[in-house]
Each structure stands twice: as C-alpha cells, then as structure tokens.
Amino acid sequence: MVHTLYLKRLGLVSLAFASLAACSSPSIDSSNGDLQGKIILTGSSTVAPLASELGKRFEEDHPHVRVDVQTGGSSRGLADARSGQADIGMMSRDLAIDETDVTAYAVAKDGVAIVIHADNPITELSPEKIVEIYKGDVTQWETVGGNDTPISVVNKAEGRSTLEVFLKHFDLKNSEIKAQIIIGDNEQGIKTITGNPDAIGYVSIGAAENSIARGEPLKLLPLEGIEPSTASVQDSSFPLSRTLNFVTSGEPETLSKAFIDFAQSSEVHNIVEQQNFVPIDFSK
Amino acid sequence: MASKIFSQSSSKTWPDFLLLGATWTTAISITVIFLWVVLSIVGQGLGQLSLEFLLTEPMNAGRDGGIAPMLISTLLILVVCLAVALPLGLGTALLLAEFSVSDKRFGQWVRRSLDFLAGVPSIVFGLFGSVFFSKILGLGFSLLSGGLTLACMVLPLLIRATEEGLRSQPASYRQGAAALGLSKTTTLFKVLLPAALPGLMVGLVLSVGRALAETAALIFTSGYVDRFPASLLDSGRALSIHIFDLSMNVPGGDHNAAASALVLLALLLILNGLAAFISLRWSTKIK
C-alpha cells in the first residue's frame, strides 16, 4: 500500500517537473503567434549596453521573451556564436574575409576619432604624423607644432575592436606601436586623456561627443580634413568607422531572427542614438 | 615594557624619536587614505542617492534609474556563496585544527593547497567557474554559478582564519574538557567553537568584503543582465560589475557609478556590523 502511494506521489512530482520544464524551455507558441523563450547574447562590451536596451524594449513588446545580454569582447561573441553558447554574438567590428562561417547583421555604426586634451593647441594632425607618433618616431609635441612637452601615447589593449579598426586604417602592426598607456573600454580612454594634457588616443566618436557635451576637456581631431561627428559617420564620409554587428552561426532561429529584425528596424533608432551610436537606415 | 619606554620622556634618545615619528606617520597616513577614499565616494555619490535610487530598475544602460535588481542579485550571490562556504570552511578548519594531529602530512598538504588558492588571482577563479559551473555543470550564466565561484574563492580565507582561531585556544581548554570526561563533540560545540568565534568572524568579514568587491570572477559566471532575477538560475548583475560598467563602459554613467559605490560601501559596513553584533551576542549567550 505504502509502496503504491509513494509511486503515485512520485508520479505527481515528476508530472509537476515535466510541466515546469515545458514552461521554461525555449519554444514558439504557434497558436497565437506570440514569441516565447530566452535569447542569449554575448560579446563586445561596446555593443552590450545597446543590446541590453534593445532587449528591454523587445521584452516590453513580447512579455514571454527574455533577452539576456552578457559581455566578454567581440572575440568571445564570435566564439560563442560558433559554439552555440550564445544565440547571437555581438561584434564591434566587421567580419574578416575568412570568417565566412557566420552571418553578420549590422545594427549600428560607430566612428573612431583621434582625441587629445582640450588644452592642447594642436588642431590637426596628418595621417603620416599620427603614424610617426604611434611608432614612437615623434616623441615631443613641439615637433608637430605644439607645446614643449613629451607626448603620452594611449593605445587600446589587444583584442579590442577599436584597436583593430585603428591599425587597419593606418596600416600599422600592434607590435610597432610604442605606447605609454594601454587602456580597455572607451570611457577609460576618455578619462585617461582628459586627465593628461599631453595625451593622444583614439575613442568612439559618440562617447567622445557625449563627454564634450558634459563639459569634459576633450578635443576631436579632424582626419584627412573631415570633421569627426555622428553626421559624417552617418553619411560614411568619415574614414575611420566600424560597424556594430550581431552575428549568428547559420540561419538564426525564429526568436533570434525576430530580435535581429527588431534591432535593424527604424523604430529603435532613438535607442541607438541614445547610446551614442549612429543608426543605419536600411530603407535606403 | 614598550609603553614604559615611550612614556618616560627623559630617557628618550634619537632612535626612540625616530621610531615614534615613523609609527605615527604610518598610522596617520593609513587613516588619511581611508578617509580620503570614503569622503571622495560620499562627496560624489551622496547627491545622487535617494530611496528611489535603491528601489527602481536601471534605465538607459544605467545612466538613469536605480540599482534595485543589482542589490537583489548581489545579496543572492552572497547568500549562495556563504551557504556553501561557511559549512565547508568550518568543517575543513575543524579537521585541520582538531583532528589532523594524527596525520600531519595530510594536514600540511591541505594547508599548502589553501595558501596556494588564496594567492590565485580572481580572474582565474572566474575562468574556472565559467568552464566548470557554467559549461560543464550546465548552470549557464546564473547567480548560482557566480555564488559557487565566489565560494571557491573565499574558502581559503575562511578556513585559515577559523583554523587560526581554533589553534589559538590553549591546550588547557581541551585537557580540562577531557578531564571532565566530555566527549570530543561536546568539547567542540561547548568549549572550542564559542572560543574560536572571533576567528570565524574575522574570516567571514574578510570573505564578505572580498565577495562584494569582486568583478573579475563574476562577469563570466553570474553575468551582466541588469533585470530582477526570477530564480537562482537566472543571470544577475552584481553591484561591483555595475559600478565597473558605468565608470568604464557607459559614457555619462559616472554619477550613478559613484552613488552605487556609496551603496556598496554602506552595504559592506552594515554586513560587517551585523557580523560583529551576532558574534558578540552569541559568545555572551554561550558564556
């Protein structure tokens, strides 16, 4: 008797577990077309705040969906998308020619500008001079028409997409660069340069514009005669820019596809701008 | 003896003055540095702090809104960490201090491993947690995975402090208990543990401090999601990661980063005060 009662209870418990599992497993409820489940994004720390905000807006429209955003850098985003650890990888650079096993979906653009302290009298540097400064051939501001002070070169850490964009544009190798300071995220770069009148670095234009608007002593240098601004990045006239991408391995699932479509739609342009990036208009 | 030398001003020679000066300088500079850190955090963060800040969700990548989900996630991670680390730590410390006398070599090996673990950088624990708890055990990005990783990290601290507390009890306590015919268990719970409580509390306070301050071990385990966790299997952003992200990754997040840092500091002081209070109450009650 006791035995059958025990078995009955066990059956009930396992039934409860089964129904729990059915609730939590990512699936599409096709009966009313409402999306359900969880999307995991990992990758670029630059894209992560934007993806979080996009996720929150998406969750408002689809209450049964959870969008979990994790960071770790573009390389991790690519690796996790490949391994299936993440549904969508986030990358703050374009795919390389040999990275054909994944598909990239552009969600925003971001310009990279050469920045110096606002008190520095320099107003423009030619690409050749920038290369000489970063290679350590020019070590004094005086040589390029500035103050009689040594230059503090700020470079990005290995693996950062901004570094790759910078190196590619100026045709440099990271091993050739002689930097005094190595930094990680954009904000850290801005803080390093606003705290040192002799520093030179390169950061995201959107983040730099935001800092200048808040009164931080930062100056953006024009590149090849073109003013760095969100406008010149938008019309692609500014030469140093990168694309912020979502990447998936193979064809994305229905849920991921819906989120990617949402992230590329014009209704999220205000979110993109709010996070200091440049929206891409796909209707053109 | 030492205080007698310092108080007799007539017998002071120049080395005494030098030593006195050096002692005062170090003591004052430590206090100044502490006050500097606290005052700069309070100065920057106090203006942003309000009840609303503690009770609302973050908006616009944390620039606006509050930190309620981070507070909940941080506390849940801490609960998981201590729930695992306390019993394990206490058990290992007891084994090392009370029961490993007959097997000295084993005790030495455990101690050596612990000292080694205590020196391992937290990012290594983070990578280990990310591989072991998140991938191999399938916990994914979750509070559970983060809490377990932190438990691994604070165990050495907790064990060594508790062990020292137990070891510092004079052998006469154990001999007295044996002479009274008390069993080993009774001796342990009635005599040794209450006496070693201050040591355990030191370990606990250090562990809580290290756990609350941790970012590197948590970013790949408990993760970055800044929403209210629905269960321990959900990802949740710890307060320290929120501060790091706001100050280093989100332009215009500085004011909320300072306010969050102030909350973290207050949380640490409250938890330490609580530990001291419980320890005091417990030891007086047992006596």
Distance, CA of A141 to CA of A151 (rounded, Å): 6
- pLDDT score at A160: 81
Question: Quick check: A70 and B250 CB within 8 A?
Answer: no
Which domains does chain A possess?
36-109+243-279 (3.40.190.10), 110-241 (3.40.190.10)
- pLDDT score at A16: 42
Label residue A284 by pLDDT band (50, 70, 90).
low
Is residue B7 pLDDT above 80, yes or no? no
- pLDDT score at A73: 84
Here the tokens at position A111 are 């310009």
- pLDDT score at B249: 87
- The alpha carbon of B149 is separated from its chain's Cα centroid by a whole number of angstroms, namely 14
Among chain B residues, CA nearest to A86: B140
CB A125 within 8 A of CB A133: yes
Is residue B11 pLDDT above 80, yes or no? no
Distance, CA of B241 to CA of A70 (rounded, Å): 12
Angstrom CA distances, B232 to A58, B143, B144, B147, B228, stand at 23, 5, 5, 9, 11
Is residue A3 pLDDT above 70, yes or no? no
- Taking the whole predicted model, whether its pTM rises above 0.90 is answered as no
Indicate the range of A2-11, B1-10, B82-91, B226-235 predicted with least confidence. Answer: A2-11
Label residue A8 by pLDDT band (50, 70, 90).
very low
Per residue, the 3-state secondary structure of chain A, as one string, reads CHHHHHHHHHHHHHHHHHHHHHHHCCCCCCCCCCCCEEEEEEECCCCHHHHHHHHHHHHHHCCCEEEEECCCCHHHHHHHHHHCCCCEEEECCCCCCCCCCEEEEEEEEEEEEEEEECCCCCCCCCHHHHHHHHHCCCCEHHHHCCCCCECEEEEECCCCHHHHHHHHHHCCCHHHCCCCEEECCHHHHHHHHHCCCCEEEEEEHHHHHHHHHCCCCEEEECECCECCCHHHHHCCCCCCEEEEEEEEECCCCHHHHHHHHHHHCHHHHHHHHHCCCEECCCCC
Q: What are phi and psi of A153, to 5 degrees?
A: -85, 125
Is residue A125 pLDDT above 50, yes or no? yes
Question: Quick check: B225 and A53 CB within 8 A?
Answer: no
- pLDDT score at B279: 79
Angstrom CA distances, B217 to A237, B120, B221, stand at 42, 11, 7
Question: Quick check: A70 and B141 CB within 8 A?
Answer: yes
Question: Quick check: B249 and A40 CB within 8 A?
Answer: no
- Structure confidence by residue, pLDDT tens digits, B78-102: 999 999 999 999 999 988 888 776 5
Label residue B280 by pLDDT band (50, 70, 90).
confident
Chain B residues closer than 8 Å to A56 by CB: 227
Beta carbons within 10 angstroms of residue A265's beta carbon:
11
The number of residues in chain A equals: 284
**Cβ-based burial of A79 (10 A; exposed 0-12, middle 13-18, buried ≥19):** middle
Label residue A33 by pLDDT band (50, 70, 90).
low
Label residue B276 by pLDDT band (50, 70, 90).
confident
Chain A residues closer than 8 Å to B223 by CB: 68, 70
In a mutational test of the B interface, the residue from A38, A53, A56 whose CB has the highest number of chain B CBs within 10 Å is A56
